[in-house]
Structure 1
Amino acid sequence: MNDELLTTRATSQLLGVSPSTVKRWSEQGLLACEHTAGGHRRFRRSAIRALLAAADRGATSRESPAPAVVELNDSEIDAWINRLLATMDVAPTVAALRAWYDALGSWWRVADRLGVVLAAIGHAWASGAITVLEEHLVSERLRRAILRCAEDFPAQPGAPCALLATANGEDHDLGLVLCELVLREGGWTVLWSGRRSPLRSLEDYVRHGGVGLMALSASSYATDTIGLTQEAETLASACRQVGATLVLGGAGLWPEPPPLGAFRIHGFGELATWLHAGR
């Protein structure tokens, strides 16, 4: 079997993550690599297959998380949307989420799969398959179900604190709700700033509020690259001053590479890896 050596970029494309994530996984020992005479990383296909196999085995949340390639077929996605449209009662959705958790072993894996469902809901609205009102109802029911699952992890005294907010002008925050679930499973206390918090207020709170992490989310609708860069640089600077970390999530056009003191995530497995490493 061909076991060719691949570049960092080619490896990232196979895994569905950014090149910087591939480098970080290599440094953390999650993905074996070799180096050329010039010091460049090269990854064997066998190492990539081993990483994907580890994800498929569904390691428990106590183990170092492995990134997963998330695939849901159309019937699974349709079943989720129909469930959310069918009733105002969130109990069936909570039960479905917990069934996924029982099968997958960690909430970050559930969150990555829900990310696919969220994207499908957006496409259904954009194509006219569901109305704006239905999109709002589906999103709100899903939000309530996720938050009910998060209640399984009450705040503990002395736990590290994370501040969650959306980028300026961003109204889509379901990804941030999933982030809260993953953080709470990881033992963090979560402070919810949510939508449209002034940048200066967030900056001041980071400097004086005792947070160890700030998560900032922007959806694909956030295309103001200058504004996103300014927010990221301002909050990364505030985080550096207090030894905190800024996490940039969502499909928004965040700066690449991210500012010093920040890191970009493209999936919740990357966040879980960071939490497991104790950074």
Structure 2
Amino acid sequence: MVETAMEEPIAQGLIKRAEFDRCLEPTKSGTAVVASGLSPEDGVFVRSELSRALESLVPDGGLRRKSIEALRLIGVKPAFVSRLGNSGAELKENTTEEIRNARVYRRAYSAFQFRDLCNEMPIHDVSLKYSVPRGQVQNLSQTCHGFAAGMIKFCERMNWGMLGAELEHMLDRLRAGARADLLEMVEVSFVKSRMARIFWGNGFRSVRAMSEAEPRNLVPIMAQAQARKLRLEGKAVEKLNAKLMVKAEIIVNSASRLWERQQIVQWEEEE
């Protein structure tokens, strides 16, 4: 019975026989599966998919492919998608191969939603665009966050450093809900993706610029994010401005501390 139980993980490349008699040891893939918290079946599937992803990883350009090329790379056939959309049919899932293909197509559909979330599209707009419940989009964001962290561990154990770095960058973007050019700014207290974009549009495009700003100059910019409160009058306006002034001071102080840390790191690297 034990020998029979060992056959499958050995065939999957998760464990191997050691030099000593009747001893087993994990392979690099097996160690990666355990570190990432995946089941053996999911681990084998992820290994095959990430191996294909490595084929498109260019040292000086990262994962840069046109959408059609990327879809074909993971096994999606654009012509089949077009026929499926025009006919209104559903994906067949009767055989093992059909179940695997359906999994690929659903993952690709979720990937497009994930891309729009990382590009600062609101959850409500993503829900309407892809005709999926809003809660499903919210769960996608949370699930991808946890899954990406596991995949980074997987890549580390497989010694796929470049792919791990790409995934870590996307994890930062998902955590911030912002484009790559705003990642630095969303580390500042009270600055989320929408606020960072407003600062960017008003000329504050770096942590250094925010650290050198006068808090009173940030207040009218921050007010742009309070669209519902722009019609306030009298004491309500004064109360809002006082609240924004406090936040502006915190933002400037936070940006100053962050800028100091960046400078220290830069000096240490130069030494």
Q: TM-score w.r.t. structure 2 length?
A: 0.28
Higher-RCO chain (CA-CA 8 Å, sequence separation at least 6): 1
Q: TM-score w.r.t. structure 1 length?
A: 0.28
Point out the structure with the larger strand share: 1
Which structure would you say has the larger Rg? 2
